[in-house]
Structure formats: C-alpha cells, structure tokens
A and B are shown apart, each in its own frame.
Chain A
C-alpha cells in the first residue's frame, strides 16, 4: 500500500512524462491528460489488481479510457508501471508506433478498448463486466470519462445498462474539468446537475476534489466496498493541472506548445518532483 505523499509524487512524475512525451510544436491534448493524472495514479497505483509483467492476465482489473484523446496519461501510467519501456513514450503518434493518438487495444497490451469517438467506453466496460460474470471472474472495471463526454447519449444508454444488469463491479470516474474543446462543458441550465442524472439511473455518487489524493483513494476504496449499486466518482479537476500557465485554459485542449513553454513546464514539474521526493525522505 502506497502512502498519499508517494502517490502525489507519482502523479507529478506522470505529468512530467506527459509533457515530455507530447513535446514542442505539435498539437496535443495536454489539458485533459494533465487534469486526469491524479485520478489515474489512484486507479493504477492504488486501486487496481494488476500485474504489469502480465498485462493480459485474465483476472486483472481493467481500466477503459473512454475519453480516448487523453490516452497519453494512460501511456505514462503503463510505462511507469513497466508494462512497456519509458523510452517508448517518445514514439507517441509517430509512424509505426504502438502509441496511437487514440487508444488501439490490438497494438498495445495494457490498452483494453479502442476509443476516440466519445461516449463508448462505459458500454465496453459493461461488456467486459458481463463477460466476467459469465466466466466466473471477479475482476473490477474502471472507466474514465470526461464531463464534456457525457453530452454523448450513449453514455446514458450504458449507465442504464450498468445499473439494470447489476454490474456493481463497474466504477465510472468523471474527470470534471469543466471545459470541453471550445467552451465550458456545462451551464446551470444545461447539464448542471450531473450527480442527479447518475443517481436517477440507479448509481451511487460521490463528489470529490480530483486533485486531492486522500479523497481519490477514499473514493476508490468506497467504490470497491459498495456492492449494492454501481459507483460513479465525480471528480472536480482543473484542465492542465500541474503546469501553472496551462491551468484552466480551454485553448490548450488540443494545441501546440512552443519549445520555451515545454522547457518551462518540464522545469516546473521537475522541481516539484524533486521537492516531493525530498519531503518523502524527511
């Protein structure tokens, strides 16, 4: 069991890998990858039953990146775990790479589902949960979605199915960074009451600060213990979190950073990782 400070440091390292992997002068989905780093750390380094040496283990817990454009954060997590070499992160989106711009499950062990068209990951997670039930396996499913992604109607078809089929080993996590590609995800008149929507479909809901590792770990433990309903964790986050000049900026949903910006982001994150490592030693 890892301590909260250790998990915080891992999340910071994950952000550093994301920024380095994405690099300068190329448009990438920085914002949503960075906003999800703490949640991903909690899922992969705290909650999941997972053997990085055997990512095809049939009994493994499964994570589905439904907001497929944020797969860099999953690549970083998998590489940090040792599923594939960290050096391979630099091949992101290059010709011939296993690290496609959106997840390709048939190319890279560790990726469970092909996504990229939004709204489909929860249905896929339900399918794996149904298979687990039919095959008498007790693994759990984690599905990460964006809040903007819940505009997609299929999310709500799937949410109904999870509850209707009593797939209580499915946990949905909403990275509620409040911004989609162009504008804020929600207005009070639109989809303001996200918790109420999930609850109405038979889910139990917990709202947390998606950058507070204690709250993340508690929520994941709560979801594991809950066996009467599927759980959804609504995690309030900040797009671009961890790099001061990216935080809360919709224009970095899918944008290129200059070499100077990358240098500054790397320096900021490296300094924080070093500081956290030092604090942990103390």
Chain B
C-alpha cells in the first residue's frame, strides 16, 4: 500500500521550506492556520507571519502592499474564501499591477466535505482563469505540490493561484520530477481515449485507465496541473492519438479545466468529441467526500462508466 498525502498538508511543509530558502517569503492567514497548515511556517518564522483575523478582503489588500515592497506573500484560506470573497481586491490590487502574491486555496472542491456548499469551491478555477496575469496551478500529488510551492515562491512572476485539496492521494510522479510551468505531465500514453485531469482527479484517472485496459481500451492520462497558461501542445498531442478527449476535475464543468480544453478544441476546429466531467452547474452539499464523489460520478468507476457510454455513442 502506497502512502497517501493530502496536498494541503504537503503545502504546509513546502511553505516552511520556501521560508527557509527565500527570506522574502512571508505568510498571511485568516484564522485557519491549523487547517491551511501555515502553522508550521508560523512557528518557524513568527516575525514573517501575520494572522489577519477573520478579514479576508483586508488580508488580500494587505498582501498586495507587502508585495509592492518586495516581499513574496503567501495568502492562505479555504479556496472558496480566497477566490470569491476577495475577488475585487485580487483583481485590482494584485493582478492589475502584476504583483507577486501566491494564493494558496486550501480544501478546494467537493471533497471539502461536511461543511457543505458555502465551503466547497466549484467555481474557483473559473474565477482565477479569467483574471489577466494570473497563473493557475492544481497539483496532483505531494511531489508536485512541493515543486509548485517552491516555484511559486521564487520562479513565477506575478500572482499565482495554487489549488490544494484534502482528498488523500499517492505520489504519481517520481522523486526527481521537475515541474515546468505550463507543461503537462504524461502519466500514461494510450491510443483510444485521453483523460486530461487536474488535482486528485489525476489519481482517479490513472485508476480509470487501468479499468479501461481490462476492457481492451487504451487511455492516455495527462496531468494538466498548470491550468493557466494551458499546455496547448499537450492537447494537440492528445488530439492526434485519441478518438475521445475527457476532462476530469473536481470543479464545475463551466469555466474550469474542461472549458479551457474546449476553447482549444473550438479554436482549432477539432473534430474529436470532448466529454467534460465535473459538477454540472450545481452547488455542493454536506456529506463525506466519497459520498459526494459518488453522487457526482467522479469516482474511478463513475468516470469509467461515463467514458464507456461516450465511446459507445
């Protein structure tokens, strides 16, 4: 049994490492530091940590001011509050002047679980993608989470949205994986169907590919962990070797990864069908993570069934 990790936990450790490596990294949190795991950074660097209280809008603008003075602030909260609650501050004060602020959106998606719709971010990728100058990242495993956190601290210019989850996943990448901004990683190469996924749906897609193989269907699995800027070349490669493209995300099918891929296909006039899997223009609700994945057809078996139906049609 491989070890499982929640990307939000790995992020906490990676943020601490970023703080050790780069003296300009600072962190802000809005009264959630045990959940967001910035508690580790807080303990190591109390003078570089600011607990803003329950005031996310104030936190976002404060981070902008810090970035304008040359610091690299990491702003932390649940994904929903960071993206939706502070959209105006983020848009005008951070994205417009292209300030280097990293938003670490914790507990993203349905698998936030029992807290229900108010806390389940299913629109955050859509919101972040629409902002000029914004980079949007959704790591698939622990190795990629660490790599992206360190890259966001030091290499990526401008604002970054890092989408983190609490659904446990094994490592899919090898320890020497080198994250490259805007480059998808191909986990499997197939010739019938291409599964393009992000976040913990990448692990689900790997399991789907195994199930499909039993049925004689060969699937590619593409980890589209940079959602903006999108790896158009990877989509073109997938187009060339598949009769069906499938996007899988723990997010609304409106505006997220599925939409981003659809835009590329439409631009190219590609004649390959696209199946977008995710939530279908609905809010979440309270339940366990697995119950919600089941309900929305996002378990490996649910995804497999949708793919088989689409292949048959």
Contacts and interface: CB of A to CB of B under 8 A. Distances in A.
Interface of A: 58, 104-106, 112-117, 120-121, 123-132, 134-135, 153-154, 157-158, 160-161, 164-165
A42 to B, nearest CB: 23
Interface residues of B, number: 29
Contact of A123 (B47, B62, B98): B62
Interface in B56-110: 57-58, 60-71, 73, 88-89, 92-93, 96-98
A116 B63 CA distance: 18
Contact of A131 (B47, B65, B89, B97): B65
A183 B88 CA distance: 25
Contact of B61 (A104, A112, A127, A135): A127
A160 B66 contact: no
Contacts of A154: 57-58, 61, 89
Given A114-B92, A114-B97, A124-B61, A131 B55 contact: no
Contacts, number: 104
B50 interface: yes
B147 to A, nearest CB: 26
Contacts of B50: 130, 165
Given A124-B61, A124-B68, A128-B65, 19 more contacts: A104-B97, A113-B65, A113-B93, A114-B92, A114-B96, A117-B88, A120-B88, A125-B65, A127-B61, A127-B62, A127-B67, A131-B69, A134-B48, A134-B71, A135-B71, A158-B62, A160-B53, A160-B55, A165-B50
Grouping DSSP codes into helix (H, G, I), strand (E, B) and loop, the A interface class, with mixed when no group exceeds half, is: helix
A164 B60 CA distance: 17
Contact of B71 (A58, A117, A121, A131): A131
A112 B66 CA distance: 11
B93 A114 contact: yes
B70 A113 contact: no
Contacts of A131: 65-66, 68-71
B75 to A, nearest CB: 11
Given A115-B92, A160-B53, A130 B97 contact: no
B26 interface: yes
A161 B92 CA distance: 21
Contacts of A113: 64-65, 68, 93
A271 to B, nearest CB: 40
Contact of A104 (B63, B70, B71, B96): B96
